[in-house]
Amino acid sequence: MWYLCVFFHRLLDYRKPEVESLAQLFGATEDPKNGDVPSQMQWKLPIHYHPDSPFHFVNLPSEKLARDIATRSILVKGMYELWGEGSSYEELKESVLSYPDERKLPYLDSDSTFKITVDSFGKVISLEDQKELIQGLSYIPFKGRVKLKNPDHNFWLIEVDNYGGNNGLPPIVQKRVFFGREVGGADRKLLPTYQLKSRTYLGPTAMDAEIAFLMANQALATSGKLVYDPFVGTGSILVAAAHFGAITMGADIDIRVVRDGRGPNCNVWSNFKQYGLPLPVGLLRADNNLPPWRSTLKEVFDAIICDPPYGVRAGGRKSGGRKLLKGAVEPYTVPDEKRTDHIPSTAAYSLVECVHDLFDLAAKMLLMGGRLVFFYPVLREDGFPENHFPEHPCFKLISSSEQILSSRYSRVLLTMVKTGPYTEEIAEAARKKHIEFKENHVKWLEDGNLHSAVFSPADDQFTEAGDPKLIKDPKPKYRGKYV
């Protein structure tokens, strides 16, 4: 059945991949012809609508699946059984009246309670106009009692104005009005509850709560699944996974982060206790370059979710120190009396090397069909090189969702699924792919100058023109993925 899916107007690239991942999580089977999208799931736009519009139609096999997706999703505002639509309220009336009575009458009986909400996109509707619009729906034979809090049925009247393209929103050619029954809606309290400003323990790389929940959804985190973060930091990503019931485990090279925090009541464990979540089964001081797992240990985790260090807010580190890695000193054993307070030496760890090690870890430790979800940086002014994303023979790319952070810099959330077992032959093929990727990729990854590129002065066109305010377009055009 086709449902009207209304998104929050932000993180545009993330919207469809999240819905498709949740459809798979809640039981929709993969399409054999297109494994990236569950079977019986199709997308289409309303008439004359821009692809970045918050309004999409999605075909799903059941109302329960639509409700489950909407309830858990971070970016879906609501799923609606559409009773009618039109370019005017006269067309809307004709459309609603022609909708089959057998679909409408079960929700209009006298024993039920209901509520009608008026919403809009691209305009503001006053309370007086909202009341008038609701009264204009008198042709619908509601017999139940109005109840504004927790009614049995929620109905939505949504108006999209033909505002053109000069207000920062995706352009609309023609006005459209929708009326439908809410099948499922987002949990509006989730993100305010987990917002970072109220978090007990934070670090400079703490993942924003909204993005962390999106990553957990992409990884299909749910009750009984074991989720691992090899760059755990202050645990923001694992907090989101634990909220959905997953068993969590993390590691970080900095023992001061995972063991000490800022005291007994301000550490990684405190973040889980703050929300009443199950504590991680373990937090390890471990190096992604030298993982501590036994060589025979394989296929342990259901998902690996992480934000690798790529040098904007923090650079990557690996064990050894410069002198040890250059061979100036021999490997040493830390004496027993110094182990409690010893901080091991570390050296710079390039992003290309870090991602290669991450793939090797995931290929070994993920279950078949498990997901690897991680961020990868992009300098937008350089464009994408031919081999722009890292690859591995064990993994298939499911989605790549770009988040533009500035005119120069963006990051892409890569979601991959493990499709083949790890073998020595696979490891050798992955090593060759890594060398090819390293040679073909843009030079800034190896030079480590991403930070300076991101935080360099504004474009020359602004500095040459003087005050940027003087050349700013007084009528802002649609900003696309900047929302």
Angstrom distance (rounded) from CA 48 to CA 161: 12
The reported pLDDT for the residue numbered 396 is 95
Instruction: Please give the Cα distance from 134 to 137 (Å, whole number).
Output: 5
What CA–CA distances, in Å, run from 181 to 106, 114, 145? Answer: 12, 10, 16
What pLDDT digit, counting tens, does each position of 310-338 carry? Answer: 766 677 888 877 777 677 777 777 788 87
* Sheet with 247-252, edge to edge strand ranges: 282-285, 247-252, 226-229, 301-306, 366-379, 409-418, 395-404
Which tokens go with 148?
């504004």
Domains and CATH numbers, the chain: 2-186 (3.30.2130), 191-333+342-452 (3.40.50.150)
Q: Tell me: the pLDDT tens digits for 41-58?
A: 899 998 888 899 999 999
Whether residue 340 contacts residue 408, with contact meaning beta carbons closer than 8 Å, is answered with no
- Per-residue pLDDT reduced to its tens digit, 98-115: 999 999 999 999 999 999
Record the tokens describing residue 40, joined without a space: 């019986």
Provide the pLDDT for residue 325: 67
Q: For residue range 116-152, what is the model confidence (pLDDT) as tens digits?
A: 999 999 888 999 999 999 999 999 999 999 999 999 9
- pTM for this entry: 0.89
Helices (H), 73-194: 89-98, 101-104, 127-135, 190-194
Q: Find the helix packing angle between 15-25 and 63-72, rounded to 10°.
A: 120
C-alpha torsion 481→13→56→152, nearest 10? -100
For 333, phi and psi rounded to 5 degrees? -110, 130
pLDDT grade for 467, boundaries at 50, 70 and 90: low
Helices (H), 182-279: 190-194, 209-218, 236-243, 255, 268-274
> Could you give the CA distance from residue 308 to residue 290 in angstroms, rounded to a whole number?
15
Exposed, middle or buried by CB within 10 Å (0-12, 13-18, 19+), for 475? exposed
Closest listed residue to residue 2, CA positions, set 103, 73, 132: 103
Which range in 24-28, 431-435, 463-467 is most confidently predicted, on average pLDDT?
24-28
Phi and psi angles of residue 72, each rounded to the nearest 5 degrees, phi first: -95, -25
> Amino acid identity of 14?
Y
Of 374, 465, 355, 385, the closest CA to residue 415 belongs to 374
Torsion sign, CA atoms 237, 209, 28, 17: negative
The lowest-confidence range among 217-221, 253-257, 369-373 is: 253-257
**pLDDT at residue 386, rounded to an integer:** 47
Give the residue ranges of DSSP H helices in 26-164.
Answer: 63-72, 89-98, 101-104, 127-135
pLDDT (tens digit per residue) in 377-410: 887 655 554 447 888 999 999 999 988 877 777 8
In 292-447, alpha helices (H): 321-326, 351-365, 424-440, 444-447
pLDDT band (50, 70, 90) for residue 460: very low
Is the per-residue pLDDT at 88 higher than 80?
yes
pLDDT at 32: 52
CA separation for the pair 303, 217 (Å, rounded): 11
The percentage of residues in the chain with a pLDDT greater than 90, rounded to a whole number, is: 59
- Average pLDDT score over the chain: 86
